[in-house]
Amino acid sequence: MLITTSFASVFTGTGLAIAKFFFPNSSPVLHREVVYQGDLQRTPSGFILTLPNSELYTLRPKSNTSVNFKSLSNGLVLVKGNLTKEKFVIEASEITSLDSSPQITPPIPSNPPDPISSPSSSELPRLYPSLDWQTTQKRVLIFTSGKRKIEQEGVYLESAQISAFPQDFINYYLGEFKDRGFKETLNSVDPEGITITYAKDDLFLTFGTKNIYQGKADQKQLTGYKAFIEHN
C-alpha cells in the first residue's frame, strides 16, 4: 500500500510538471488550478487580467462561483481559478481586490471643449473632457475598415499618463459612436493596450489606451495608462 501511494504521488507530480511544460497557458485535461496576481481591466469584450510579465488572460466566471462580475472594478487583484483548454483563459472562482484606495474619476468640466477639429467635425462626438490631452499632432495614420487598411493624413491626440484604467473614456466613445450610426471595424486587446476603430462613410476614428510599463523581464510592471484618439 505504501509503495502504491508513493508511486502515485511521484506519477502525479511528474504529470503536472510535464503538463506545465507543454501547456504553460492552458490545461486541456487537468484544468489545473492557478492563483495569479495582476491588473484587472474591464474591456468592451469582458475582463482581462494582465500579469507582471505582460501575459494577458481572459477571465470567465466558473459555473459554481459566487463572484459577481458586474460589480468588479479595475485595479490590482488576486485571481484564483482554473485554466481551460483554450490558451490564456481562466475560469475564475475567486477575485480579491488588492487596491488600498478607491479610484476617483475626475470631475467633468461644466463647459466641455469643442469637437475634435475635422472637416466633418459635426459627425464627431466632443473630445472626452475628463482627461488632460497633452499631445495634438497632424500625422499620416492607418485605419482598418474590414479587411482593408486605409492610409490618410489625420489628427492624433494623446492624454497625460493616468494611474487608473480610463473605463469611462472607453464607454463614452462606444456610446457616442453607436448613437451616431458608426460601425465598428476593429477591436483589439494585446499587452500594449486596447485599440478600437469606428467608421462612417469616409470618416474613420480610432481610440483606445496604451499600457505604460516600468522595468524589464520579470521586473516589468504595469504602472499606468495613456488614452489616445486619432481620426482623418
Closest CA to 166 of 216, 105, 94, 215: 105
Pick from 62-71, 85-94, 127-136, 162-171: least confident = 62-71
Residue 170 and residue 208: Cα distance in Å, rounded? 7
Q: What is the pLDDT of residue 111?
A: 42
Q: What is the mean pLDDT of residues 155-182?
A: 90
pLDDT band at 232 (very low <50, low <70, confident <90, very high): confident
Residue 41 and residue 222: Cα distance in Å, rounded? 12
> What's the grid cell of residue 22?
507543454
Q: What is the pLDDT of residue 144?
A: 67
Q: What is the mean pLDDT of residues 146-160?
A: 80
Q: Is the dihedral of CA 146, 152, 157, 158 positive or negative?
A: positive
Q: What is the mean pLDDT of residues 183-197?
A: 85
Q: What is the pLDDT of residue 15?
A: 55
With a pLDDT cut of 90, the percent of the chain lying above it is: 10
Please say whether the beta carbons of 181 and 208 come within 8 A.
no
For 68-104, what is each residue's pLDDT tens digit? Answer: 777 787 888 888 889 999 889 999 888 888 765 444 4
Residue 199 and residue 202: Cα distance in Å, rounded? 7
pLDDT band at 122 (very low <50, low <70, confident <90, very high): low
pLDDT band at 21 (very low <50, low <70, confident <90, very high): low
Q: What is the pLDDT of residue 107?
A: 44
Q: What is the mean pLDDT of residues 62-70?
A: 78
Question: Is residue 22's pLDDT more than 60?
Answer: yes
Question: Is residue 12's pLDDT more than 80?
Answer: no
Rounded to the nearest integer, the mean pLDDT of the chain is 77
Q: What is the mean pLDDT of residues 131-148?
A: 78
Closest CA to 88 of 42, 54, 43: 54
Question: Is residue 212's pLDDT more than 50?
Answer: yes
Residue 171 and residue 164: Cα distance in Å, rounded? 15
3-state secondary structure the chain: CHHHHHHHHHHHHHHHHHHHHHCCCCCCCCCCEEEEEEEEEEECCEEEEECCCCCEEEEEECCCCCCCHHHCCCEEEEEEEEECCCCCEEEEEEEEECCCCCCCCCCCCCCCCCECCCCCHHHCCECCCCCCEEEEEEEEEEEEECCEEEEEEEEEEEECCECCCCHHHHHHHHHHHHHCCCEEEEEEEECCEEEEEEEECCEEEEEEEEEEEECCHHHCEEEEEEEEEEEC
> What's the grid cell of residue 185?
471595424
Name the more confident of 101 and 39: 39
Question: Is residue 182's pLDDT more than 60?
Answer: yes
Amino acid (one-letter) located at 162: I
Please say whether the beta carbons of 31 and 19 come within 8 A.
no
> What's the grid cell of residue 111?
463647459
Question: Is residue 56's pLDDT more than 50?
Answer: yes
Please say whether the beta carbons of 165 and 41 come within 8 A.
yes
Question: Is residue 147's pLDDT more than 70?
Answer: no
